């Protein structure tokens, strides 16, 4: 009984993830991520990021994650979330990697959310 229940749960979870991935990909297709300047300070590394909303609706949230490197070697990752980017507008923020110094980063949109109201 336990194994059968776990298989059913697994099928349901895989189906839900596939559905979510499809809807997130559709929403992300109208969003353009732009990486800005990267700099270091006494606290770590900072990178500016922006997301342009080329869709016809407000996007409630956009999570952006960045993998930071120094001389091509990974030193850490950090993320930020931008909220309520209206259609045709640009949302901006900074991603802060606390501690390590980095000279480059690769960023991507990792999730999106609908407006709350």
Asked if residues 97 and 75 have their Cβ atoms less than 8 Å apart, the reply is yes
Domain presence at residue 37: yes
Q: Is 4 inside a domain boundary?
A: no
The domain total for the chain is 1
Q: Which domain holds residue 72?
A: 31-113
pLDDT in tens, 64-75: 999 999 999 999
pLDDT at residue number 28: 61
Quick: pLDDT tens for 39-58. Answer: 999 999 999 999 999 999 99
In a domain, 14, yes or no: no
* 21 domain-assigned: no
Q: What is the pTM of this model?
A: 0.75
CATH code, domain carrying 102:
2.60.40.10
Dump strand ranges (E) for 1-117. Answer: 31-40, 44-53, 59-70, 73-85, 90-98, 104-113
Give the model's pLDDT for residue 114: 93
15, part of any domain: no
């Amino acid at each position: 009984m336990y194994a059968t229940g776990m298989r059913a749960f697994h099928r349901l979870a895989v189906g839900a993830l596939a559905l979510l991935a499809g809807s997130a990909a559709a929403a992300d297709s109208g969003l353009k991520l732009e990486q800005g300047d990267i700099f270091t300070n006494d606290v770590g590394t900072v990178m500016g990021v922006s997301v342009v909303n080329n869709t016809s609706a407000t996007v409630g949230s956009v999570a952006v994650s960045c993998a930071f490197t120094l001389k091509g070697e990974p030193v850490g990752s950090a993320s930020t979330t931008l909220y309520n980017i209206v259609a045709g507008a640009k949302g901006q923020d900074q991603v802060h990697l606390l501690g390590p110094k980095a000279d480059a980063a690769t960023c991507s949109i990792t999730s999106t959310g609908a407006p709350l109201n």
